[in-house]
Structure 1
Amino acid sequence: MEAGTGPVLSTLLGLLLLSTPGTRGANPALVARITDKGLDYAAKEGLLSLQQELRKITLPDFTGDFKIKAVGRGHYEFHSLEVQNCELRHPSLKLLPGQGLSLAISDSSISIQGEWKARKSFIKSHGSFDLDVKGITISVDLLLGSDLSGRPTVTASQCSSRIHDVDVHVSGKLGWLLNLFHNQIESKLRKVLENKICEMIRKSVTSDLQPYLQTLPVTADIDNILGIDYSLVEAPRAKAGMLDVMFKGEIFNRNQRSPDTLPVPTMNLPEDNKKMVYFAISDHAFNIASRVYHQAGYLNFSITDDMLPPDSNIRLNTKAFRPFTPQITRRYPDMNMELIGTVVSAPLLNDSPGNLSLTPQMEIEGFVVLPSSAREPVFRLGVVNLFQAFLNYYLLNTLYPDANDELAKGFPLPLPRRIQLHDLDLQIYKDFLYLGANVQYMRV
């Protein structure tokens, strides 16, 4: 059984990205939460993958001796064993608080066909056989940890495999001879298969799964300026129905990384289990990104009327500025405007339940768009309430409805290969954004 179950356990473990222990002490800026619904999906997907893998494996040859009083001593060999059918049932993936995961499969069966040959003195014979393995139960504990780089690690600690029943049906000229001591053969086959299953799992964890987890980067590029640190900061926090995995989530300048000195606020996550996974992204991550962008000079901007939604009640024209600068309206009646902003300091994102706001310190220069499309400057001032209304309206009515897609495309969430998110749902809470999603494993 050396085909390996890397894809199987990668589906289960890679989906979860768990880690114990290795506490680093700092609050995480990114928390991944896996619910019971996510664990159930991982177990079912793992079951389908395991069935596919088992159908491909080649079992080792099986040999033994027989002794019958009336016949004497002889030797037999079962070879060319191939799995014909595999039915795995009742998968269960449970949390082991402070340790990792417990994977169990029960009431399963495998059908095997192969060839046999036997000899007694100078008599030789051969034929075929059918092997039905029923009532298979597998249980394995996976201890999860992290190395010094913040990558997850995994080892198989306890593994047990039990087979309730093994039936061998032998055909051939001397098949009757082997059938005389089928109980002995079946008992020996049961022990061999039980040991082989756990041997396969342990070898797969060591040679397939652990190297796979080591390929997961602890940093990722957001764009040509920003990177993000996904190293694990502490052990996962397991409680009823969910597991929280804490990532550093530090945003940094890819060209000149410096230590982050701003404290990360504690995120109080809601007790929500409708989705398979959730990602809590702290304001801290966005504010660090803002600081890096500001230092790099990328936050200066312009806003024109066509950037506002067509159905917006707020328009960017001289009429809208009448309460603040009546002289502009008199001189340029009902003409579009453009605002060019120069950021004085990095704007901070503030999240409160259902609301996003920015607190930028900037200077705004206003231009009237003339019929010739030329821009004529009309004022320069600090941020006024009207501009804050423009900005917040744009955030809540343009950015927020599209944030699900943008986060999925533009914010590199810590997901292994072939894992995709769907049914995205974005919520806003105090100090963090909360993205819920269901998971789909994309088969090759």
Structure 2
Amino acid sequence: MNYESSLRYKIDTPLESTTSESFCRSCKSLVKTKMWLVTTFLLMSISRTHAEYPALQAVLSQKGLQKVSHWMTDWLQNELSTIRLPEFRGSVDIYVGTVYYNLHDMTVVRCDLPEPSVAFSEGTGVSLQVSGLSIAIAGLWNTDFGIIHDGGSFEMAIFGISLNTMLEFQNTDEHLSISTVMCSADVGDIELDFHGGASFIFQPFVKSFSGKIKNMIQGRICPEFTKGIEALDTDLAAAEAIKVDPYVYLNVSLTDSPVVFDNGFELNVKGEFYSVSSPSEPPFFPNQFELPWQADYMLSVGVSEFCVNSAAFAYQKSGLFQITITNDMIPKASPIHLNTSQFGILIPQLPKMYPNMEMEILLYASDTPLVSFNQTLINFNLPTAAKFSALKTRDDLTPLFSLDMLFSFNAKVNIDQQLLKGVLEMKNLTIKLGSTEIGPFDTAPIERMVKLAMSTIVLPKLNAQLQEGLPLPLLKGFSLTNSVMTIENGFFVVATDINSLFLQSDKL
């Protein structure tokens, strides 16, 4: 799901709403974008699962919260320097009559935005304080005074804007809910300078209505801020699942209320994958685990066996764990090719019944591949089946036999230079005859051949790739740095810092 935050302003709105909304929408954009990024980090977006325990746990630390605040300050600073503000209209009484004015073609020429102060409030949520925000605006003006029409340029400066608010995190209908429980705002001062035309006539009267503008802006900051938080809460309520690809999606509803520490924020997520085409519950259940999060890293994420295995179950239900192997795919240097006559050394009766015919193998997962985590080791059990057929023509297959195979692997993995590296070892392999159209035969020679191929060809290639390293998965627009991975009993943990790819100012 892709959320974009931008500063939007309505055109031709009255003075009472336009000036305040121009600033307050900036505040709303800052907070909405900030909270959405926090949520994106934590939710790795429908049906309900039977899981009582979370399969995913994530903690954003105080360090992470400060970095998000830093990014959003940079983002808003850049954004404000490029936007064009809407025009607004008003009037001023100059004793001899009323001057009606229109301020237009306004741009932000300077924005002094101190980094907000953000902190977790234990048991509640996040406190946010902004103080000393100042904005300088330049634009053009036009006036109507009876039959006299005039125009020129102006500068407006808004000084000392401050905001003090408290946000509360809750679990509402199994989604993260955010609300404003306290808000106060203040505007220090406003200055307006008009140039050109007959501006000298009404410039002396600016102070008489600048106070009114200041009060309007100040009175609208918190209502607009609260409105922005309510809009964000609506967005979060709709984020029940993340579509990972065309085949599976991830349930990210919450199992219980968010936990706010004095130095971190924890989300417990159901974390179950489903097949898009045929969603159903897997025949296994999640186990409880406690995430050993680290405050020295921005983000800590714990992933359980249930989460990984539910993904395997979902992909299997989607029909992805299968491949057709043809003779063209066999290396030319291989001692045996997919030909019935060459298979005679393994199955003596085969070439007698079907001499010199090309063969094809349908290889697929016969049951859900299962992963388990056990103190530094990852164990894989891969039940597969192989259906062998002889090819009379490309479209005319003759079934020969099928084999039931069970592969067991151990893997040791680690994160090195932001790459996932490791070593894969085959622990065991068993092959049994499933069904046969050519009569019974001994599968031991085939088992020995497959073991030889795995040890001399397949595993060396896989381990060479693992030694070079696989890039870590990325959130769009972000990269992981200083990452460490630990394998525990029943789950693994990744503790990491995060860099923004579109906000490159990382100077905390």
Q: Normalised by the size of structure 2, how large is the TM-score?
A: 0.59
The SS at the match of 1:284 is: helix
The SS at the match of 2:85 is: coil
Aligned 8 A contact 2:274 2:314 in 1: yes
Taking structure 1 as reference, are residues 422 and 401 closer, same or farther at Cα in structure 2, changes over 3 Å only? farther
- Aligned-pair distance for 1:117? 5.7
Deviations 1:353-382 (A, max 9, x none): 33323467845249xxxxxxxxx943869x
Question: Take 1:90 and 1:227, find their aligned partners in 2: how far apart are those partners?
Answer: 37
1:34 lines up with 2:57 in the alignment: no
Q: Match of 1:220?
A: 243
1:128 lines up with 2:153 in the alignment: yes
Question: Take 1:228 and 1:120, find their aligned partners in 2: how far apart are those partners?
Answer: 63
1:190 lines up with 2:214 in the alignment: yes
1:420 lines up with 2:478 in the alignment: yes
Matched letter for residue 63 of structure 1 = G
Question: Take 2:303 and 2:382, find their aligned partners in 1: how far apart are those partners?
Answer: 20
Give runs of aligned pairs for residues 73-222 of structure 1, distance below 5 A. 74-75=98-99, 77=101, 79-80=103-104, 81-116=106-141, 127-144=152-169, 148=173, 150-155=174-179, 158-172=182-196, 175-198=199-222, 200-205=224-229, 209=232, 213=236, 216=239, 218-221=241-244
Taking structure 1 as reference, are residues 213 and 49 closer, same or farther at Cα in structure 2, changes over 3 Å only? farther
Taking structure 1 as reference, are residues 145 and 218 closer, same or farther at Cα in structure 2, changes over 3 Å only? farther
Q: Match of 2:418?
A: none
Question: Take 2:203 and 2:369, find their aligned partners in 1: how far apart are those partners?
Answer: 82
Question: Take 1:160 and 1:2, find their aligned partners in 2: how far apart are those partners?
Answer: 23
Taking structure 1 as reference, are residues 158 and 62 closer, same or farther at Cα in structure 2, changes over 3 Å only? farther
1:63 to 90, 96, 103: 90
Question: Take 2:190 and 2:284, find their aligned partners in 1: how far apart are those partners?
Answer: 63
Question: Take 1:354 and 1:263, find their aligned partners in 2: how far apart are those partners?
Answer: 22
Question: Take 1:74 and 1:290, find their aligned partners in 2: how far apart are those partners?
Answer: 74
1:50 lines up with 2:76 in the alignment: yes
The SS at the match of 1:90 is: coil
Deviations 1:395-415 (A, max 9, x none): x9679767863x617xxxxx5
Aligned 8 A contact 1:93 1:101 in 2: yes
Question: Take 2:203 and 2:196, find their aligned partners in 1: how far apart are those partners?
Answer: 11
2:445 to 371, 378, 386: 378
Aligned 8 A contact 1:98 1:235 in 2: no
- Aligned-pair distance for 1:235? 1.8
- Higher mean displacement: 181-190 or 212-221: 212-221
Question: Take 1:398 and 1:29, find their aligned partners in 2: how far apart are those partners?
Answer: 31
1:350 lines up with 2:372 in the alignment: yes
Taking structure 1 as reference, are residues 172 and 294 closer, same or farther at Cα in structure 2, changes over 3 Å only? closer
1:236 lines up with 2:258 in the alignment: yes
- Aligned-pair distance for 1:249? 0.9
- Aligned-pair distance for 1:244? 1.3
Deviations 1:167-207 (A, max 9, x none): 22233465445443443233122123324544554555556
Aligned 8 A contact 2:54 2:268 in 1: yes
Matched letter for residue 103 of structure 2 = H
Matched letter for residue 218 of structure 2 = E
Taking structure 1 as reference, are residues 131 and 27 closer, same or farther at Cα in structure 2, changes over 3 Å only? same
- Aligned-pair distance for 1:282? 0.4
Aligned 8 A contact 1:419 1:439 in 2: no
Question: Take 2:218 and 2:70, find their aligned partners in 1: how far apart are those partners?
Answer: 22
Structure 1: tracts of 5 or more residues without a match = 303-340, 367-375, 410-414
Q: Match of 2:306?
A: 284
Taking structure 1 as reference, are residues 402 and 253 closer, same or farther at Cα in structure 2, changes over 3 Å only? farther
Q: Match of 1:326?
A: none
Matched letter for residue 184 of structure 1 = S
- Higher mean displacement: 211-220 or 44-53: 211-220
Taking structure 1 as reference, are residues 191 and 297 closer, same or farther at Cα in structure 2, changes over 3 Å only? closer
- Aligned-pair distance for 1:220? 2.8
Question: Take 2:316 and 2:151, find their aligned partners in 1: how far apart are those partners?
Answer: 80
1:364 to 422, 430, 453: 430
Deviations 1:5-30 (A, max 9, x none): 576445312222289xxxx9821101
- Aligned-pair distance for 1:292? 6.2
Question: Take 2:90 and 2:367, find their aligned partners in 1: how far apart are those partners?
Answer: 78
RMSD: 5.0
Q: Match of 1:14?
A: 36
The SS at the match of 2:288 is: coil
Aligned 8 A contact 2:165 2:182 in 1: yes
Deviations 1:324-351 (A, max 9, x none): xxxxxxxxxxxxxxxxx99997665332
Q: Match of 2:351?
A: none
The SS at the match of 1:408 is: coil
Taking structure 1 as reference, are residues 289 and 65 closer, same or farther at Cα in structure 2, changes over 3 Å only? closer
The SS at the match of 1:183 is: helix
The SS at the match of 2:279 is: coil
Q: Match of 2:398?
A: none
Matched letter for residue 218 of structure 1 = A
The SS at the match of 2:307 is: helix
- Aligned-pair distance for 1:33? 1.9
Matched letter for residue 53 of structure 2 = N
The SS at the match of 2:110 is: strand
1:257 lines up with 2:284 in the alignment: no
Q: Match of 1:312?
A: none
Deviations 1:88-122 (A, max 9, x none): 11223333455544333221211122345667788
Taking structure 1 as reference, are residues 222 and 431 closer, same or farther at Cα in structure 2, changes over 3 Å only? farther
Q: Which has the higher contact order (CA 8 A, sep 6+)?
A: 1
Taking structure 1 as reference, are residues 217 and 261 closer, same or farther at Cα in structure 2, changes over 3 Å only? same
Taking structure 1 as reference, are residues 347 and 124 closer, same or farther at Cα in structure 2, changes over 3 Å only? closer
Question: Take 2:249 and 2:375, find their aligned partners in 1: how far apart are those partners?
Answer: 28
- Aligned-pair distance for 1:217? 5.4
Q: Match of 1:434?
A: 493
